[in-house]
Amino acid sequence: MSFDWIKIPQALLTVFVVFNFGLLLNALIAKIAARVGRRQGIPIWQNYVDLIKNIGQRSLITHGVHFYLGPVFRLTGGVGLLLFVPTIYGSEMFSNLSFAGDLILALYFVFFGTLGMALGAAESGHPYSAIGVSRGLSQVTAAELPFALAVFAVALQYQTLSVTDIVAAQQGGILHWTLFTNPLAVAAAMLSFLGSMMRPPFDVVLAPQEIPIGPPTEYHSSYLALLQTNRAIFPIAKIVIYMNLFFGGAASWPVFALKVFLIYMVSVFVGVVFPRFRVEQSIRWFLIWAVPLGVLAILWV
Partner 1 sequence: MVSAMPSPILIIASALGAAFLLGLLDERRTRTAWAITLATLGFMGLVSALWLLALATGQSSTVDVFTAGTPPPFAINLRMGLAEAALSTLVTLTGLFAAIALKAPLWAHGRRAMAVLLILVMALAGIILTRDLFNLFVFFELAVIATAGMILLADDERALSAGFKYLIVAQFFSALLLIGIIFAYQVTGTLNLDGMLPDAGGAHAGVTATQVGAIAFFLMLIALIAELKPFPANGWALDIYESAHPAFSAIFSAASGAAALFAVDKLLAIGGDAWLGIATGVGIVTFLVANVLALPQRNDRRLLGYSSVAQTGLVLVVIGQRDILGDGYLFIAFGILVAHAVAKAGLYWLSGLIAGRGLEDWAALRTRPLLMLAFASFLALLTGLPPFPSFYAKWDLVHLLASHDRLALLGFVLFGTLIEAGYLFRWFGHAIKRAAPADSVACPAERLIPILTALVAAWGLGYLWGALSGQANLLLSLPLLFALAFVLLDWLPARIKNTLAIAGMLGYFALTYQDYDPLRLIFALIFLVGGAIVLLASYHAPGRRAGFYPSAMLMYAGLAMLVQAQDSFAFFAAWELLTVGSYFLILRGKASEPHALSYMLFSLGGAFLILAGFALAAQGQLQLPLEALGAVVEPLSGWVFLLLAVGFMSKTAVLGLHIWLPGAHAEAETDVSPMVSGILLKAGLLGLFILVMNMGKQQLYGVELTHLMLWLGALTALAGNLLAAFQEDAKRLLAYSSIGQMGYAVFGLALMNHLGWLMALMFVINHYIYKSMLFLSVGGVAKRTGTRDMYRMGGLITLMPLSFIAVLIGIIAISGVPPLSGFGGRWIFYNAILDSDARLPMIVLFFAGPIAFLYLFRLIHTIFLGQLKDEHRRVREAPFWIVLPQMLFVTMLIIFAVVPGMALRHVDAYISQFIPNGALSWQGLTITSQYGYWSPVSIMIIIGVIFMLVFGYLLLINRRAQKVKQFNIAFAAERPYRPETTHFAWNFFAPYRKALGFLMLPLVTRFWSTLTDLLNTAGDLGRRLYTGNGQTYAIHFLVFVVIVFLLGMGGQP
Touching partner 1, residues 171-230 (CB under 8 A): 212, 217-218, 221-223, 225-226
Distance CA 206, CA 117 (A): 13
Question: Is 149 an interacting residue with respect to partner 1 (CB under 8 A)?
Answer: yes
Question: Is 105 an interacting residue with respect to partner 1 (CB under 8 A)?
Answer: yes
* Binding residues for partner 1, total number by CB under 8 A: 82
Distance CA 11, CA 94 (A): 7
By three-state DSSP, how is residue 153 classified? helix
Question: Is 152 an interacting residue with respect to partner 1 (CB under 8 A)?
Answer: yes
Of these, 5, 40, 60, 254, which contacts partner 1 (CB under 8 A)?
60
By three-state DSSP, how is residue 224 classified? helix
Contact 218, 129 (CB under 8 A): yes
Instruction: Pick the closer one to partner 1 by CB: 142 or 239.
Output: 142
Residue 190: how many other CB atoms lie within 10 Å: 21
Question: Is 72 an interacting residue with respect to partner 1 (CB under 8 A)?
Answer: yes
Distance CA 13, CA 33 (A): 30
Least distance to partner 1 from the beta carbon of 81, Å? 10
Distance CA 244, CA 165 (A): 10
By three-state DSSP, how is residue 159 classified? coil
Least distance to partner 1 from the beta carbon of 89, Å? 18
Chain positions 73 to 102 lying near partner 1, rule: CB under 8 A, are 73, 75-76, 79-80, 83-84, 97, 99-102
Chain positions 107 to 136 lying near partner 1, rule: CB under 8 A, are 108-109, 111-112, 115, 118-119, 122-127, 130-131, 133-135
Q: How far is CA 102 from the centre of its chain?
A: 17
190: DSSP letter: H
Instruction: Pick the closer one to partner 1 by CB: 43 or 125.
Output: 125
Question: Is 231 an interacting residue with respect to partner 1 (CB under 8 A)?
Answer: no
Phi first, then psi: what are they for 279, rounded to 5°?
Answer: -60, -50
Question: Is 18 an interacting residue with respect to partner 1 (CB under 8 A)?
Answer: no
Distance CA 171, CA 176 (A): 6
Interacting span for partner 1 (CB under 8 A) from 33-41, 104-112, 188-196, 265-273:
104-112
Of these, 13, 30, 93, 137, which contacts partner 1 (CB under 8 A)?
137
